[in-house]
Amino acid sequence: RVGSGVYLVLQMVLLIDLFYKVNEWLVADESKWRWALLGSGSFVAFGLGLALVGLSYYFYAPAGSCGLNIFFITWTLVIMFVVVGILFIPNRAPTAGLLTSGAVFVYGCFLLYNALNSEPDDYRCVRAVTGSGWVQIVGFFISLATVFYSTASAGSSSHDMFGKGSNYTEDDELLYRADWFHFVFTVASMYIAMLFSNWQVSPTTSEFEIDQGWISTWIKIASKWVCELLYIWTVIAPAVLPNRDFGFS
**Residues near 108 by beta carbon (within 8 Å), at least 6 away in sequence:** 49, 76, 79, 224, 227, 228
What pLDDT was estimated at residue 125?
Answer: 84
Residues 30 and 91 sit within 8 Å (Cβ to Cβ): no
Residues in the chain with pLDDT < 70? 1-5, 128-140, 142-144, 146-147, 149-180, 195-212, 247-249
pLDDT at 95: 87
Q: What's the pLDDT at 249?
A: 58
**Would you kindly state where each structural domain of the chain is located, as residue ranges?**
2-162+173-240
* Residue count of the chain: 249
Q: What is the pTM of this model?
A: 0.79
200-226: pLDDT as tens digits: 655 555 454 555 678 878 888 988 999
pLDDT in the model for residue 172:
47
Region of residue 142 (left: phi > 0; alpha: psi -120 to 50; beta: else): alpha
What sign results for the dihedral spanned by CA atoms 134, 217, 125, 52?
negative
154/183 Cα distance (integer angstroms): 9
